[in-house]
């Protein structure tokens, strides 16, 4: 029952899917529930893939991909994109740690945030649009899974960078090695069933580790925004690497 509760909590927190469910939940439930983030990614991916199949009956692939990426933003409420923007605003401000954290918490959007979000959206659109038809459906299902694995890796391999409370504190404090193992196992099962490629599964794991180490250097830890940034960048890296291997090398 606790597992089901945590899965539903993650669905409610990580998506805008309307789920009427109320239960007593503490910080530990959110932190440990992050282990099931790849399952939430799978739900998002299946919805995107189904929408693509329907749209592709009427529209060219490029237009379908554009609409699917907008649907992705709606489904996630832009949660991780917001984290991406805040992270880039802070880390690329060339300020001391405390000032970086202040900038990341500021609700105003800076130039670096806009550039990061636009760049990620354009890269996702450009590469997804070029996938062969026999790969596009699998990619739409798997890229949200790869992204959410990044959040688990980021939370489990870092400490909370702020001195007080924050949105990401419960995830970072309670998502440990056990949650990383559970999340990675779920992730691997999904990729095994998808049968995309024998070794493509390894790249999101590597990129997530590299990203969290790079981001953590400047602020001596991570925040909820950083976890969102790792999620979004992990997705984009996975899409690009998959395109190179499947459409270029494997052609």
Q: Which long-range contacts (CB under 8 A, 24 or more apart) does 110-117 make?
A: 110/85, 112/85, 112/88, 113/84, 113/85, 113/86, 113/88, 113/89, 114/85, 115/88, 116/84, 116/85, 116/87, 116/88, 117/81, 117/84, 117/85
Structural domain boundaries, residue 151? 2-249
Q: In which residue are the tokens 């990620």 written?
A: 120
pLDDT band at 108 (very low <50, low <70, confident <90, very high): confident
What was the pLDDT predicted at 167? Answer: 67
Single pTM value for the model: 0.95
Average pLDDT (177-185) is 97
- DSSP bridge pairs for 222: 160
* Mean pLDDT value of segment 46-71: 97
Give the span between the Cα atoms of 142 and 183, in whole angstroms. Answer: 14
- Total of domains in the chain: 1
Mean pLDDT of 18-43: 90
DSSP-derived 3-state class of residue 95:
coil
Mean pLDDT of the chain: 93
**In terms of pLDDT, which residue wins out, 128 or 20?**
128
């Amino acid at each position: 029952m606790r597992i089901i509760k945590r899965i539903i909590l993650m669905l409610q927190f990580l998506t805008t899917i309307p789920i009427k469910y109320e239960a007593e939940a503490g910080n530990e439930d959110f932190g440990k529930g992050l282990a099931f983030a790849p399952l939430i990614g799978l739900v998002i991916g299946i919805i995107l893939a189904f929408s693509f199949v329907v749209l592709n009956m009427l529209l060219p692939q490029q237009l379908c991909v554009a609409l699917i990426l907008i649907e992705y933003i709606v489904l996630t409420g832009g949660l991780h994109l917001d984290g991406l923007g805040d992270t880039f605003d802070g880390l690329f401000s060339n300020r001391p740690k405390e000032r970086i954290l202040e900038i990341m918490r500021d609700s105003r959007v800076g130039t670096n945030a806009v550039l990061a979000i636009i760049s990620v959206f354009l890269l996702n659109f450009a590469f997804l649009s070029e996938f062969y038809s026999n790969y596009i459906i699998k990619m739409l299902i798997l890229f949200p899974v790869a992204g959410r694995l990044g959040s688990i890796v980021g939370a489990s391999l870092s400490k909370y960078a702020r001195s007080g409370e924050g949105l990401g504190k419960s995830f970072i404090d309670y998502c440990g090695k056990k949650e990383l193992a559970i999340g990675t196992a779920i992730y691997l099962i999904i990729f095994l069933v998808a049968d995309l490629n024998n070794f493509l599964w390894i790249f999101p794991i590597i990129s997530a580790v590299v990203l969290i180490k790079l981001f953590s250097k400047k602020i001596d830890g991570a925040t909820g925004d950083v976890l969102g940034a790792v999620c979004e960048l992990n997705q984009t890296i996975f899409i690009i690497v998959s395109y190179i291997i499947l459409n270029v090398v494997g052609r």
